[in-house]
Amino acid sequence: MSTAAAYAVSAPDGTFEKIAIERRDLGPHDVLIDVKYAGICHSDIHTARNEWHGTAYPCVPGHEIAGIVSAVGSEVTRHRVGDRVGVGCMVDSCGECESCLAGEQQYCTRGVTWTYNTPVPAEQQAGGYTLGGYSTQVVVTEGFVLSIPDGIGLDVAAPLLCAGITLFSPLRHWNAGPGKKVAIIGMGGLGHVGVKLAAAMGAEVTVLSHSLSKQEDGLRFGAAHYYATGDRATFKQLRGSFDLIINTVSADLPIEDYVKLLKLDGSLVLLGLPEKPATVRASTLAGMRRSLSGSMIGGIPQTQEMLDFCAAHGIGAEIEVISADRIDEAYDRAVASDVRYRFVIDTATM
């Protein structure tokens, strides 16, 4: 075991405190990573505050991890000491089920080992559940460690490990590209990367944000249009417009209103994970053969494809780097949508 510094929260309404945690000794396929940057995803906030229930405390969130390999196990072949690497939402899966064999480990039928808050044997993580990237070091099996291409800074790459792949995967699955009208609901951490990715894929991108306050940024990220959903006229004007709508909003939304913005055969994909169920009338779907779906991050091969795509297109997240003692403030600001566009913790401040 080795000791690492980490920032943990000990209760749903607690504040982050610095603690020491144990990381396991390297097994033959393990990689030890010196974490340099860790993004703050809204899922971290949902978990730290127990909004999805079942949070084990002390909780160390963080699944947008970028760093440098500092040691490797005896049989590791994919990574070497000094490599620039990333870790996203998963650190393991069964490797044998249909999903895993298809490279879609996030849908592992025997259960994914998420980067934090997943029960594991104590030999894997002292304490018996995974602890995430708000930490100076992590140990991860090599198949779940991604390579960060040289063209992207580690700080702006970190958020791609969750926000990037979560948008890249549905954009690819639903064929965003030239001739397709794609709308992104919510321009926060996920949404702003989605705008950049969809534009780089060649789609005509519209942002549906609750106000026009970030319009200039949205157009700079590649959107062709930007509408305020706080204005009811938007819903009238855009009725039947889109091939694909991706909802990244972390709060409850009147999904029915957004489904009506789809054209024939259009799909609305839910990525945001609020507590309450979404409701939609069957007739709203049936009338235009519309689909309502969801999507969860993306598999390991596609995550690497996404990082390579971002390097080729000069895409990184827009970030505000913070010291570790400002995590509580960053959470409050993220909940208030006061973030441009992702907080990233500089672990050198731990």
Residue 43 binds ligand NAP, judged by CB under 6 A:
yes
Q: Is 103 left (phi over 0), alpha (psi -120 to 50) or beta?
A: left
Q: Does 41 bind Zn ion (CB under 5 A)?
A: yes
- The count of other CB atoms within 10 Å of the CB of residue 46 is 17
Site string for Zn ion, 158-197 (x = CB under 5 A): ----x-----------------------------------
Those residues whose C-beta lies under 8 Å from the C-beta of residue 257, and which sit 6 or more positions away, are: 235
Among 296, 311, 321, 322, binds ligand NAP (CB under 6 A): 296
Q: Is 88 in the site for ligand NAP (CB under 6 A)?
A: no
Helix extents (H) in 10-153: 42-48, 98-101
Site for ligand NAP in 201-240 (CB under 6 A): 209-210
Is residue 43 near Zn ion by the rule CB under 5 A? yes
| Residue 136: contacted member of Zn ion, ligand NAP, none (CB under 5 to 8 Å, by partner type) | none
In the three-class reduction of DSSP (H, G, I as helix; E, B as strand; rest coil), residue 43 is classed as helix
Residue 39 binds what, of ligand NAP, Zn ion, none (CB under 5 to 8 Å, by partner type)?
Answer: none
Q: How many residues bind ligand NAP (CB under 6 A)?
A: 26
Residue 311 contact partner, candidates ligand NAP, Zn ion, none, CB within 5 to 8 A by sort of partner = none
Chosen residue from 1, 101, 102, 251 binding ligand NAP by CB under 6 A? 251
Q: Looking at 4-12, 14-22, 242-250, 282-290, which segment touches ligand NAP (CB under 6 A)?
A: 242-250
- Nearer of residues 39 and 218 to Zn ion, judged by Cβ: 39
**41 in contact with ligand NAP (CB under 6 A):** yes
CA–chain centroid gap for 258, Å, is 22
Nearest approach, Cβ of residue 23 and Zn ion (Å): 21
CB of 189 vs ligand NAP, minimal distance in Å:
3
Sheet holding 242-247, edge to edge: 225-228, 204-209, 181-185, 242-247, 262-270, 291-294
Question: Rounded to an integer, what distance in angstroms lies between the CA atom of residue 173 and that of residue 185?
Answer: 18
Q: Is 301 helix (H, G, I), strand (E, B) or coil?
A: helix
Residue appearing with tokens 């566009």: 341
Q: Is 302 in the site for ligand NAP (CB under 6 A)?
A: no
Closer CB to ligand NAP, 147 or 215, in the complex: 215
Q: Which of 306, 292, 282, 283 is nearest to 258 (CA)?
A: 292
When the beta carbons of 116 and 227 are compared against Zn ion, the nearer one is 116
CB of 60 to ligand NAP, least distance (A): 17
* Beta pairing, strands 342-346 & 30-39: antiparallel
The smaller minimum CB distance to ligand NAP, of residues 114 and 124, is found at: 114
Under the criterion CB under 5 A, does residue 145 sit at the interface with Zn ion? Answer: no
Question: Which residues contact residue 202 at a Cβ distance below 8 angstroms, ignoring those fewer than 6 apart?
Answer: 176, 177, 178
Regarding 337 and contact with ligand NAP (CB under 6 A), the answer is yes
Contact 156, 311 (CB under 8 A): no
How is residue 40 written in tokens?
A: 């703050």
Tokens 């494809």 — which residue? 305
The 3-state DSSP class for residue 208 equals strand
Amino acid at the residue 51: E
Near ligand NAP in 121-150, by CB under 6 A: none
Judging by beta carbons within 10 Å of its beta carbon (0-12, 13-18, 19+), is residue 138 exposed, middle or buried? buried
Is 196 a residue that touches ligand NAP (CB under 6 A)? no
Question: Which helix (H) or strand (E) covers residue 161, if one does?
Answer: none
Identity of the residue, 291 or 295, whose beta carbon is nearer to Zn ion in the bound complex: 295
Which residues contact Zn ion (rule: CB under 5 A)? 41, 43, 162
Which residues contact ligand NAP (rule: CB under 6 A)? 41-43, 46, 162, 166, 186-191, 209-210, 248-251, 271-273, 296-297, 334, 337, 339
